[in-house]
Amino acid sequence: MIHHLWTPPPVRSLPVRGRAERLPINRLFFVGRNYHAHAIEMGKPVDKANATLFYFTKAPQTLVESGATIAYPPGTANFHHEMELVVAIGKPGFRVARSDAHELVYGYACGLDMTRRDLQLVARAGAAVGPGQGRRLDDRPGAVISRSPLIPDPPGDIR
pLDDT tens digits for 105-155? 999 988 888 888 888 777 765 554 455 455 444 455 666 666 655 455 555
Per-residue pLDDT, 81: 83
pLDDT tens digits for 19-42? 899 999 988 888 876 666 766 776
Predicted model pTM = 0.70
Sign, CA torsion 124/128/130/132: positive
∠ at Cα 112 (45, 157), nearest 5°?
A: 55
Other CB atoms within 10 A of residue 106 CB:
15
pLDDT tens digits for 43-71? 777 666 776 777 888 888 888 888 888 88
* Strand boundaries in the chain, DSSP class E: 12-15, 22-25, 28-32, 54-58, 79-89, 105-116, 139-141, 145-146
pLDDT tens digits for 68-89? 888 888 888 988 888 888 899 9
Whose CA is closest to 130, among 38, 56, 22, 71? 56
